[in-house]
Amino acid sequence: MAAVANDGIRDLTTRTEKLSITSINKSTKQFKAQIKELDKQYDTMQQQLEDLQFILDVILKWDEDFKKVVRFSQGVPHMRSTKEICANIKTAMIPSSEFDRTVQILVKEGVPCFPRVTGLFEKMKSRLDERSPNAKFSEEIRQLLGELIGTLCTIMNFFYDQEV
């Protein structure tokens, strides 16, 4: 057993003796460059994750607001509260808002599967532009919010290893 260990140590010393200082130095520099590149990528992905979490938090707030509204009601209180919630969503989605800027940053950075999210946002914007909300309208908005929540959670879980 000792002979085998001595042979292993001899092999290791023979291999290291064959390496030159320049090749070790070159390998070290390449390794450090790879680490630096991975650190940059990590920082970028961490910022993307924070932006995705911000968007998810906003959508969850909208979803909570809709949960307070009585479902399948055609009464004036239902319509009034639905209009108020939709006005808040429209305000958040205007081009100069922080929400919209965050979405545009994530689009520009090419976050995986994010075009699906932007497609759902466009669909929601077009639905919010309709004039008179009714029970069907409320359910469609709830359904879109659910799709957005599910899609964002999946992106965060799959690509960023974050369970939401």
Residue 70 has pLDDT above 80, yes or no: no
Residue 14 has pLDDT above 70, yes or no: no
Residues of the chain with pLDDT > 70, as a percent, come to 82
Query: Is residue 6, in this structure, part of any structural domain at all?
Result: no
Residue 133 has pLDDT above 80, yes or no: no
Q: Give the separation between CA 24 and CA 27, rounded to whole angstroms.
A: 5
Contacts of 71 (CB under 8 A, 6+ apart): 135, 138, 139
Residue 142 has pLDDT above 60, yes or no: yes
Query: Is residue 17, in this structure, part of any structural domain at all?
Result: no
Query: Is residue 8, in this structure, part of any structural domain at all?
Result: no
What integer pLDDT is reported at residue 2 of this predicted model?
53
Q: Give the separation between CA 57 and CA 47, rounded to whole angstroms.
A: 15
Residue 31, classified by CB atoms within 10 Å of its CB into exposed (0-12), middle (13-18) or buried (19+), is exposed
How many other CB atoms are there within 10 angstroms of residue 162's CB atom?
A: 13
Q: How many residues does the chain have?
A: 164
What integer pLDDT is reported at residue 4 of this predicted model?
55
Residue 16 has pLDDT above 60, yes or no: no
Quick one: which H or E segment has residue 20? none
Residue 62 has pLDDT above 70, yes or no: yes
> Which pair of tokens denotes residue 164?
């939401």
**In which domain, by residue range, is 45 found?**
23-160
What integer pLDDT is reported at residue 63 of this predicted model?
93
pLDDT digits (tens, 9 = 90+) for 20-53: 888 888 889 999 999 999 999 999 999 999 999 9
Query: Is residue 87, in this structure, part of any structural domain at all?
Result: yes
3-state secondary structure 69-134: CCCCCCCHHHHHHHHHHHHHHHHHCCCCCHHHHHHHHHHHHCCCCHHHHHHHHHHHHHHHCCCCCC
Query: Is residue 11, in this structure, part of any structural domain at all?
Result: no
What integer pLDDT is reported at residue 48 of this predicted model?
93
Query: Is residue 13, in this structure, part of any structural domain at all?
Result: no
> Which pair of tokens denotes residue 129?
């532009």
Give the predicted TM-score (pTM) of the model.
0.77
Query: Is residue 147, in this structure, part of any structural domain at all?
Result: yes
CB 106, CB 48: distance < 8 Å: yes
Burial 86-102 (b: 16+ CB within 10 A, else e): beebeeebeeeeebeeb
Q: How many structural domains is the chain composed of?
A: 1
User: pLDDT band at residue 12, thresholds of 50, 70 and 90?
Assistant: low
Helix pair angle (135-160, 114-128), 10° resolution? 160
Query: Is residue 14, in this structure, part of any structural domain at all?
Result: no
